[in-house]
Amino acid sequence: MSTKDPDLSIIILNYNVKDLLINCLDSVFKNRGKEDNWQIIVVDNGSEDGSVEAVKKKYCNLLSSRVDLMENKSNLGFSAGNNVGVKIAKAPVILFLNPDTVVVDKAISKSLKFLKSNPDIGAVTCRVELPDGRLDYSCHRGFPTPWNTFAYLSGLSKLFPHSSLFSGYAATYLDTKVTHEIDCLTGAFLMVRKIAGEQIGWWDTDYFFNGEDVEFCYNLKQKGWRTYFYADAKVIHYKGSSYVDKKTRIEVVKHGVSAMRIFFMKHFYKNYPPIFRDFILAGIKALEHYRKFKIWVS
């Protein structure tokens, strides 16, 4: 590791996914070239599966510590956990990387080069693929405005995937084979200039898990920063690998619906008459019950 300040700080927030975390770290180091000066930070959110011990054994020792390891005593959630890592990040650019991802074909260095190519770009994500090769939709989205959300949940976006009017949230009208500006990136691979993150106060801790990346991107846009989908690099995302039992899946639904409610209240609630507000909030509640029901009967 160079004694100079790093060009990039990579923050990986972990919670009880030891094997995935080690695979992720292995892929990061495998894809780091000699010219890449990176600081790699693992923040553990109170894991009980031996994650901390595994990282210490493989990447931290008295002679050469290749990872800065921070241990939280409990699960602080995605936002607060990542904010802990930010405190020790030394680079002018920070990559938030999920532990259930695998980096391939120099995706990190390629994305960093692209980000640095235009000073107006505040944040960038690459192509995030699921193991079967499909695009993880969360890396390429529009903002969940009331209309975009209605069109998405009602199925209109699937009926008219090439229409910007009806597929505003899924953003399927944009060609994912080429690089372009988008509204929302994914927290699974979110590379951001430190100056931009500082301007928005980093991650909003009103969100525990889910929706915080949408809030992050919305706040960047409000500050005049541009966010991009970079098509010429990719990572593999083993999404939902830890959501195996019904109880955990129910909790994920709760957090997801809660995020929808928080986002609406923060940014759109005051824009609509009371009857419309009540209609939207009732719809969010109904969605929560529907998604829970689907899990219990599955």
pTM to 2 decimal places: 0.93
List Cα–Cα distances, 257 to 45, 67, 98, 182, 250, in angstroms: 22, 35, 21, 23, 11
The end-to-end CA distance of the chain, in Å, is 49
Return phi, psi of residue 5, to 5°: -60, 140
Q: Is domain 8-140+176-237 in CATH 3.40.50.740, yes or no?
A: no
Return phi, psi of residue 30, to 5°: -65, -30
What does the alpha-carbon distance between residue 76 and residue 56 come to, in Å, rounded to a whole number? 21
The answer to whether the beta carbons of residues 129 and 234 sit under 8 Å apart is yes
Say if residue 136's pLDDT is above 70.
Answer: yes
User: So where are the chain's domains?
Assistant: 8-140+176-237, 144-172, 246-297
Average pLDDT, the chain: 92
CA atoms within 13 A on the CB side of 38: 25
Q: How many other CB atoms are there within 10 angstroms of residue 117's CB atom?
A: 9
pLDDT confidence of residue 194: 98
What does the alpha-carbon distance between residue 103 and residue 29 come to, in Å, rounded to a whole number? 9
For 217-261, the pLDDT digits (tens) are 999 999 999 999 999 999 999 987 666 677 777 887 888 888 999
The answer to whether the beta carbons of residues 82 and 202 sit under 8 Å apart is yes
